[in-house]
Structure 1
């Protein structure tokens, strides 16, 4: 589906379902938010990660937390769908902000149960190694739900955003976890060795 949306480019990746709080202070984006409120319409966050505006997320304003006298806003938003930017007009005719035509990308919810179980196992170990007390996993979790809590670089998050099938996203995240977990295990092992330093320990002699 193609549509036209105002653009609020940011150096971040917003995954569908993510709640994002924004403090809006620049004149062009104050105008953008005011227009969205007035018309009850959505806007796009093109993810400016790899020095270009190409993919991003459609955002909906869910609450105006605060409206300042000088036109600034504190808004609460939720990410809806991944989009592909087709063109951009900057500034958009008669406005301070940019806008353009986007294609809302279809998501294929074809997650694999076995891949999900493997992900759960690796994610649980990850959170234990980094000492996260409350594991942010539920039985119905999808990759987008927990992607920000997996140690992905911003560039990797941007690559993940473009994957349209849940099964492929599962494999992408598994490959990432299989790469970083050995490093984290080694760090944890070294931490334990440091804790042992200076203490008397009993070692069984090796038999040759």
Structure 2
């Protein structure tokens, strides 16, 4: 399917199913959100990386207007629905302040992939949080978690998150996170050991002598 959508480019990667809170203050995006609310239609958030508009993004729907301000600004709650690919950018739209795009929607397999692989990913992310002394709670039971639900918690760079967004099978996304965690966990663990050594440096140490035949 191909269609036109209004777009709200941001320097983030949004995933399907993700809940995203936004403060809307620019006149063009106030207009965009007002029209989406009136028509009950979604808008697109394509990722901007290093000041370049990516061709991939996520369609989002407005769930709620949390607060409206006197000047027209508003706080909104949105939720990602599906990945789109920009075919053509429409920079100027008659009587509109915002831009849009002609997009299609790549076939995206959002099954549960491999459950054992997903459990390894979840375990790896929790180990990452333990090492970093970060407390994060997932909003679903472990057996219902998809890769999209945990990807923002895995310490990916925005470039890696964009690459992750381009993967259209759940098992591919699970493998991507597994490889990422296998790469970063040993580095962080080594840093933790180094930090402990630095903490001990300069303190008196109660060490037993080694029984060596010298």
Give the Å deviation of 1:35.
0.7
1:34-113 equivalent positions in 2, closer than 5 A: 34-49=34-49, 51-108=52-109, 109=111, 111-113=113-115
Unaligned runs of at least 5 residues, structure 1: none
The change in CA–CA distance for 1:111 and 1:206 in structure 2 (over 3 A counts) is farther
1:199 aligns with 2:201: no
**Aligned residues, how many?**
208
- Per the normalisation by structure 1, the TM-score is 0.92
1:19 aligns with 2:19: yes
1:138 to 141, 154, 172: 141
Give the Å deviation of 1:93.
2.6
How far, CA to CA, are the matches of 1:206 and 1:172 in structure 2? 49
The change in CA–CA distance for 1:94 and 1:135 in structure 2 (over 3 A counts) is closer
Aligned 8 A contact 2:49 2:159 in 1: yes
> Which has a greater percent of strand?
2
**Backbone CA RMSD of aligned residues:** 1.8
Deviations 1:33-54 (A, max 9, x none): 1111111111000111251330
Give the Å deviation of 1:107.
2.1
2:162 to 158, 183, 189: 158
Counterpart of 1:189? 193
1:4 aligns with 2:12: no
Unaligned runs of at least 5 residues, structure 2: none
How far, CA to CA, are the matches of 1:96 and 1:134 in structure 2? 39
- After TM superposition, the runs of 4+ consecutive aligned structure 1 residues lying more than 4 A away are none
Aligned 8 A contact 2:66 2:74 in 1: yes
Deviations 1:66-98 (A, max 9, x none): 222322221111111111111111122321111
